[in-house]
């Protein structure tokens, strides 16, 4: 309980609304459990947003003091964006020009992904375990849709997808982003890229003990975009007919008023 109050105190310093979000789960015997909280559950992004850091606080309960002291506990925190299908295309030369020839579509991949951990995920657990849990950019599930032939190009397309998402900043990792601030309390910083998609994001915190997965906790985070730009995007997608007519009307008014303003007589 003392530990819990400690956590409460830290989170309270950050912001008041967090109070409602601290999970009040009962301790489950001797097994370790994880508690996490964020200072907010909604992030409003203005049009001049250039990226930000999100801080997640958490505590490890019922931890073995000895293992904790020698650093046998590892924590991985991820922020997964809303999911949608992604198509990767490969250009090939055809009659001298570069043409998109082969493509592969992956089913329901996160549109953004940010990972933060106590150390590089590949040193925390075995590749098999990471694949199983779908943790990390190199281990997330990339399931192709439709016919993919003998599957020999699967690896190549997966690699291209990962590379492209990382170079656009939508997928990122920080292998030292989780720090223990006290023996059982930790703080994770997650990077929100400037082009973060709006929608419901999931914060996932996972606890490992000596390379073994122990438990995880989820938290929903809503990213909403605000400002005139977002109003325009919403209008374009929700009222496309009016939006189209408005675009035409704007063009007519602009063209017509210029001819009136500049009339010589």
Partner 1 sequence: MTIYLPIAELSVNIFIILGMGAAVGFLSGMFGVGGGFLITPLLIFYNIPPVVAVATGANQVVASSISGAITHFRRGSLDIKLGTMLLIGGLAGATVGIWIFSLLRSMGQLDLLISLLYVIFLGSVGGLMLWESLNAMRRAARNEAVALKKPGQHNWVHRLPMKMRFKKSKIYLSVIPIIALGFAIGILTSVMGVGGGFIMVPAMIYLLRIPTNVVVGTSLFQIIFVTAYTTVIQATTNYSVDIVLAFILMAAGVIGAQYGVRVGQRLRGEQLRALLGLLVLAVGIRLAVALVVTPSDLYSVVVGGMG
φ/ψ of 152, rounded to 5, equals: -70, -25
Regarding 47 and contact with partner 1 (CB under 8 A), the answer is: yes
Of these, 15, 123, 164, 210, which contacts partner 1 (CB under 8 A)? 164
Regarding 248 and contact with partner 1 (CB under 8 A), the answer is: yes
Regarding 90 and contact with partner 1 (CB under 8 A), the answer is: yes
- The residue among 132, 137, 101 whose CA lies nearest residue 117 is 137
Of these, 2, 9, 147, 259, which contacts partner 1 (CB under 8 A)? 259
Regarding 255 and contact with partner 1 (CB under 8 A), the answer is: yes
- Per-residue DSSP letters for 97-124? EEEEEEEEEEEEEES-EEEEESS-HHHH
What's the farthest any 2 CA atoms get from each other in the chain?
91
Of these, 42, 67, 91, 212, which contacts partner 1 (CB under 8 A)? 91
Place of tokens 């530990």: 3
What is the C-alpha R_g of the chain? 24
Regarding 152 and contact with partner 1 (CB under 8 A), the answer is: no
* Range in contact with partner 1 (rule: CB under 8 A) among 4-12, 16-24, 79-87, 205-213: 79-87
* Range in contact with partner 1 (rule: CB under 8 A) among 20-28, 143-151, 203-211, 236-244: 236-244
Long-range contacts, 232-240 (Cβ 8 Å, 24+): none
Residue 219: C-alpha distances to residues 10, 21, 39, 150 (Å) = 18, 9, 12, 39
Binding interface with partner 1 (CB under 8 A)? 47-48, 84-92, 96-100, 103, 109, 111, 157, 160-161, 163-165, 195, 197, 229-230, 232-233, 236-237, 240-241, 243-248, 250-252, 254-256, 258-259, 262
């Amino acid at each position: 309980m003392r530990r819990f109050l400690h956590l409460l105190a830290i989170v309270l310093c950050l912001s008041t609304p967090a109070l409602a979000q601290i999970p009040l789960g009962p301790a489950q015997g001797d097994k370790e459990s994880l508690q996490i909280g964020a200072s907010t559950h909604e992030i409003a992004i203005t049009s001049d947003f250039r990226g930000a850091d999100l801080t997640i606080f958490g505590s490890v309960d019922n931890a073995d003091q000895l293992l904790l002291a020698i650093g046998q506990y590892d924590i991985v925190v991820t922020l997964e964006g809303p999911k949608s299908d992604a198509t990767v295309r490969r250009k090939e030369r055809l009659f001298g020009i570069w043409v998109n020839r082969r493509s592969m579509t992956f089913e329901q991949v996160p549109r953004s992904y940010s990972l933060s951990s106590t150390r590089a995920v590949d040193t925390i657990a075995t590749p098999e375990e990471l694949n199983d849990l779908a943790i990390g950019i190199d281990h997330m599930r990339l399931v192709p849709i439709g016919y993919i032939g003998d599957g020999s190009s699967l690896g190549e397309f997966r690699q291209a997808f990962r590379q492209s998402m990382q170079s656009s900043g939508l997928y990122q990792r920080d292998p030292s982003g989780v720090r223990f601030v006290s023996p059982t309390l930790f703080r994770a910083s997650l990077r929100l890229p400037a082009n973060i998609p709006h929608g419901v994001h999931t914060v996932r915190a996972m606890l490992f003990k000596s390379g073994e997965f122990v438990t995880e906790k989820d938290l929903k985070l809503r990213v909403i975009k605000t400002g005139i730009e977002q109003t325009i995007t919403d209008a374009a997608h929700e009222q496309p007919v009016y939006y189209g007519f408005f675009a035409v009307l704007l063009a007519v008014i602009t063209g017509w008023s210029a001819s009136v303003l500049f009339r010589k007589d």
